[in-house]
Amino acid sequence: MLHQPHHPRRYILWLPPVLWAVVIFFLSATSAPPVPPLDIPAYDKIGHMAVYGFLGFLITHALRRAHHLSVPRAALIAILLVAAYGASDEWHQSFVPDRDASLADWFADILGGSLAQLIHWYDARPNRKTTR
């Protein structure tokens, strides 16, 4: 029954990544997003990696569960979607006062989305013992 093309569960599984993308959109639409003022080198890039890493994780989870894709295929699609959304987000920021588009931020977005895939690869290892 879960393999039906339009089963409602498929849409529910896409809610977390869509909601997280909405959060990213609204944070990008503010001139001064609420981030703690830390004096850490590359803090901004680490933030981009974390935010888009979480998005990549959520997308891969939705692809695997809703569409029964393999980890490599879901990971590749997730990385491409993160890259596209990151590019659109940087373009969006170019219209926000006191914000600008940054190629370095976009690369950090892609790196975060890519690194998040390691969690799925770890979870899908064939020799992994489960206690579930």
The contacts found for 120-124 with CB under 8 angstroms, 24 or more apart, are 120/57, 120/60, 120/61, 120/64, 120/71, 120/74, 120/75, 121/71, 121/75, 124/71
Q: Specify the pLDDT at position 11.
A: 87
pLDDT score of 83 more than 70: yes
Higher pLDDT, 44 or 57: 57
Higher pLDDT, 127 or 123: 123
- Scanning the structure block, which residue is given the tokens 């690869």? 121
What does the pLDDT look like over 13-43, one tens digit per residue? Answer: 999 999 999 999 999 998 877 777 666 777 7
Which pTM value belongs to this model? 0.85
CA 105 – CA 117 distance, rounded (Å): 19
Residue 12 CB coordination number (10 Å):
12
pLDDT score of 1 more than 60: no
What does the pLDDT look like over 56-78, one tens digit per residue? Answer: 999 999 999 999 999 999 999 99
Mean confidence (pLDDT) of the chain: 88
Q: Specify the pLDDT at position 61.
A: 95
Q: Kindly tell me the sign of the dihedral angle through the C-alpha atoms of 86, 91, 93, 94.
A: positive
Q: Specify the pLDDT at position 120.
A: 82
Structural domain boundaries in the chain: 10-26+42-123
